[in-house]
Structure 1
Amino acid sequence: MTTLQNSIHGTDSSVAVIIPSKPTPLTVTYKDLKSECLSFQRKLAAIGITNRSAVSIATVNSYEFIVSFLAASWQRGIAAPLNPAYKQEEFEFYIDDIKSAVVLVPKGAYQADAPSVKAARKFNAAIAECYWDDAKKEVALDVKELGQLKGKSKEGVLQPQPDDVALVLHTSGTTSRPKVVPLTHRNLTRTMRNIQSTYQLTAQDRTMLVMPLFHVHGLLCALLAPLYSGGSMIVPTKFSASDFWHEFVTYKANWYTAVPTIHQILLKNPAPSPLPKIRFIRSCSSPLSPTVFTQLEEKFKAPVLEAYAMTEAAHQMTSNPLPPSKRKPGTVGIGQGVEVKILNDAGDEVPQGSEGEICIRGENVTKGYLNNPAANESSFTKGGFFRTGDQGKLDEDGYVTITGRIKELINKGGEKISPIELDNVLTRHPSVSEAVSFAIPDDLYGQGIGVAIVLKSGAKLDQNELKAWVNEKLAKFKVPKKVYFTEIMPKTATGKIQRRIVAETMQNQETPKAKL
């Protein structure tokens, strides 16, 4: 039977989780973790959590997050992690959308009447503070309001089934309303196996977990895959560039996975001396420029493996493999436990090397969005492949190159321009720290090219210089029409750059501002 409950493979005495804290870290063995999850599962059962009950978790990365997430899924409930930094209106949307039975909040949130608490109360969800009780040495479930669970009978301790929904997450679609992605135990455990196989993870491996656990990147690759392989993880509450290497070295990590933004931050900071032995560095969730790829490998003396993932696929779909196999900068590697095909609009395969929509099929892929028949109709091909919405191509070795989001391609008078290609070229300029390209209105061509630029500290550059530089690198039709200089690039909570929001923000400025 394939469930999260029977996919935790560490030996009883081996370390599963380390929570850095002063003066002493919290070190948890596999025996302790399983025992704590079972104990918390009983607590959830006691308040009436049962099959299909939605358990919203609004806490930071922590031991209590890990325990409550696993325990909810063991109890046949649906774990629904939420960004703890949301505002009340955002909490209200997600709590209402999935009809949360209970909302788990940090210690002190109830007395402070935090946004998550107000939102839970509005929809009559139970409210419980969830935290590590150091005196009792347990994860507390301190129920403050029973809400809709009031009067419910105590449930028994349940056994999860492979096709139970274990996790729901929202993903932004082509419409403004986020879509609900249900992921079953079968979906999740398949990805856990795929990731373990891709990176040959063993009980000897320990990762530094820096991605938020309210998204699939951190949840699947940095938490669940290590548990599947019997390995371990270091879990700070959030990513800190100043603490990263100290904790990496102190607690003996040997790999990490992150978005390109975090890699770039680490590149700007001094490397530890001596360098620890890093088995590999994984990059995912956003395109990694070949320049950053090279800089990472040179600075940290470790293979950099770019991967490609989506919430709908329970995270990983493709990845560059470990040495001695080839890793190709600029590609996201080969299919990992999934079928990958490049299809046209009709759902037919295009010739090798031709561009089309990247489509996938596999046991890790959701069967469809919740309560959204229109999205399900358009998201799956006649052959049962999921349409990623990404344009790309396969090379002769089966490596995938993403050329852009189909909805984000810039169509300049019939010329389709990949914003990712432009971003990669622009970030090679010695004065440019970050670059995001997007379509802007153009009376002659329909669409022109706008780019937002963050300069490196102390650098000077004007838009004419940059345009001339691009003109030397790319065809004339790819030269930007407008260059917007900005101090900060808008990003999501996971460090992803939202091209659409960058475009809207920049175009709302009256005129592009050049730094001279």
Structure 2
Amino acid sequence: MTGFTPFPAERAAAYRAAGYWAGRPLDDILSAAAAQWADHPAVIDDRTSLTYAELDRRANGAAAGLRALGVEEGQSVLVQLPNSCQFAVALFGLLRAGALPVMCLPGHRDAEISHFLEVSGAVGIIVGSDAGFDYRGMAERLLGRDNALRHVIVDGDPGPHTAWAQLCQGAGPPPQRRVDTSDPAVLLVSGGTTGAPKLIPRTHDDYLYNAIASAKLCGLTAADVYFVALPAGHNFPLACPGLLGAISVGATVVFGRDPSPEAAFAEIARHGVTATALVPALARLWAQACEWEEQRPTSLRLLQVGGAKLAADDARHVRSVLTPGLQQVFGMAEGLLCYTRIDDPAEFLENTQGRPLAEHDELRIVDDEGVAVSEGEPGELLVRGPYTINGYYRAAAENQRSFTPDGFYRSGDTVRRLAGGYLEVTGRIKDVILRGGETVSALDLESHLLTHPAVSAAAAVGLPDPYLGEKICAAIVFRGTPLTLVELNEHLDARGVAVHCRPDMVMPMPALPTTAVGKVDKRTILAQLQP
């Protein structure tokens, strides 16, 4: 496959021999679940409930409908659906059609979606209808541009396009396809670190292991009810263990549209939810809400928190008021997952971000010169292993920067290795802002800000925030009268920039401070912003 970097043959053979890779297509987890738990509830949202047998049939119908529409084996299709049963149907339908799903997020707008279309060569896009944003209209704008997009599929009013409900009525068995399980099964999207978001190719072999091994480590069974509180297209609620891991053990998956405590606590009580995943900002909010919400999530036995570092005080508070079953998760859509274990002592649960999932995860912690640091000293984390990618999709230049010659991924995170292989995240090297669980590339945002004629220079920095983790501040040198935050974000909206990438505050400056070598000095900017 052009633009895909496979696992080197020697390492691939070692992972197969060690039992990490089963040689099964990713959608096999649904086939196996439907055979074993046919009448058990599989997926539930606010309008629909499907058993495993029903989900299996609908996925087959979607696959047949996609092929009939003209989506061919090996072609990419963007998926931008809200948390719903239809998300699960679309994912498995695309897999069974032999297509390559590109897992977009609800907050992505024209700029990101156009970029994903260009890089993936996608021939279709599946969108939902939402009163807050016109996804169909966005797809229509992109349809006429210089790309391969031919099919707009809408879950809702399709207008002149294809109705998702009608497409899913395809009859007969799913189309026959040839599956090389070492090929990509899905394309995840990166948060962007040095520019526009990149596409992350996860193979059938590595992603199946990712989901199944995570479910086993978390102790998920068919008796569990997993709540999707974060956007389902994220790696965390998709496969860590998430939707895919839950399906692999026959658990029930409940899709939530609103992660606020009031709405989420009601869903948890209604369905007897036992497990979910949150980012630290939401975990803190849920814990605080226990002081005023009458309904509390008493059925939770497992609360995963990841996407950013959870402070030790917050971890203790979460364990005391939400559930003692807190699990810290440190990972990346590119691969490596670290988990605290369910039976770990409080010292590890509250002060570390876990240890690697797999015995064959290889970690290096190095200094600025690439030399290994002493045990317990902080350094940049490099990793390779049975479920970590070997290159971004169709991104040769970025791969030169992000991977070592011997195949280690440069995470950009700084960590300390503690006793027993546990890691403590100490910071990051890449210029990113972690806002509400989303990774925002400062460079990409700055490039968008500079397109406004009133902006002479711009620097995006992250400020600590008790609710978002970090909020985005745009330090800007204006030409003439400074713009307001509203005016600045209206410009970004017109450019189709994702909602989560827009500044929360703006700080006009006469000039941006620089270092001795002429680079923008963001430490000085932060010092001026913080009391």
Per the normalisation by structure 1, the TM-score is 0.72
Is 1:210 aligned to residue 262 of structure 2?
no
SS in 1 for 2:350: coil
Is 1:14 aligned to residue 33 of structure 2?
no
Q: Could you tell me which residue of structure 2 aligns to residue 71 of structure 1?
A: 93
Q: Could you tell me which residue of structure 2 aligns to residue 461 of structure 1?
A: none
Indicate which of 368, 371, 377 corresponds to 2:400. 377
Residue 97 to residue 3, structure 1, CA distance change in 2 (3 Å)? same
Query: How far apart in 1 are the matches of 2:499 and 2:215?
Result: 25
Is 1:197 aligned to residue 223 of structure 2?
no
Q: Could you tell me which residue of structure 2 aligns to residue 182 of structure 1?
A: 201
Alignment of 1:52-67 (within 5 A): 52-67=74-89
Give the superposition deviation at 1:172: 4.4
SS in 2 for 1:214: coil
Are 1:105 and 1:127, in contact at CA under 8 Å, matched by a contact in 2?
Answer: no
Indicate which of 145, 159, 165 corresponds to 1:140. 165
Indicate which of 339, 348, 351 corresponds to 1:319. 339
Indicate which of 177, 202, 212 corresponds to 1:158. 177
Q: Could you tell me which residue of structure 2 aligns to residue 464 of structure 1?
A: none
SS in 2 for 1:46: helix
Give the superposition deviation at 1:87: 3.1
Q: Deviation per CA, 1:141-184: give whole Å up to 9, x if none.
A: 559xxxxxxxxxxx943253312312113324543233221111
Q: Could you tell me which residue of structure 2 aligns to residue 228 of structure 1?
A: 248
Give the superposition deviation at 1:209: 0.7
Indicate which of 330, 352, 358 corresponds to 1:331. 352
Give the superposition deviation at 1:101: 0.7
Give the superposition deviation at 1:139: 5.9
Alignment of 1:328-367 (within 5 A): 328-337=349-358, 338-344=360-366, 349-367=372-390
Q: Deviation per CA, 1:212-249: give whole Å up to 9, x if none.
A: 02221222232111111221111123423321111101
Q: Could you tell me which residue of structure 2 aligns to residue 243 of structure 1?
A: 263
Indicate which of 247, 252, 258 corresponds to 2:272. 252
Indicate which of 69, 84, 95 corresponds to 2:106. 84
Query: How far apart in 2 are the matches of 1:260 and 1:399?
Result: 19
What amino acid maps onto 1:256 in structure 2?
T
Count of matched residue positions in the alignment of Structure 1 and Structure 2: 421
SS in 1 for 2:412: strand
Alignment of 1:453-464 (within 5 A): none
Query: How far apart in 1 are the matches of 2:331 and 2:530?
Result: 36
Q: Could you tell me which residue of structure 1 aligns to residue 448 of structure 2?
A: none
Q: Could you tell me which residue of structure 1 aligns to residue 152 of structure 2?
A: 128
| Structure 1: runs of 5+ lacking an equivalent | 144-154, 410-418, 424-437, 439-449, 457-485
Residue 56 to residue 405, structure 1, CA distance change in 2 (3 Å)? same
Is 1:291 aligned to residue 313 of structure 2?
yes
SS in 2 for 1:387: strand
Per the normalisation by structure 2, the TM-score is 0.70
Q: Could you tell me which residue of structure 2 aligns to residue 395 of structure 1?
A: 418
Greater displacement, 188-197 / 1-10: 1-10
| Structure 2: runs of 5+ lacking an equivalent | 1-22, 158-162, 169-173, 436-441, 443-460, 468-484, 490-497, 511-524
Give the superposition deviation at 1:13: 1.4
SS in 1 for 2:420: coil
What amino acid maps onto 1:171 in structure 2?
S
What amino acid maps onto 1:321 in structure 2?
R
Give the superposition deviation at 1:392: 1.1
Give the superposition deviation at 1:360: 2.0
**After TM superposition, what 4+ stretches of structure 1 lie above 6 angstroms from structure 2?**
108-112, 495-498, 509-515
User: Which structure has more RCO (C-alpha within 8 Å, separation ≥ 6)?
Assistant: 2
SS in 1 for 2:430: helix
Greater displacement, 83-92 / 106-115: 106-115
Residue 2 to residue 113, structure 1, CA distance change in 2 (3 Å)? closer
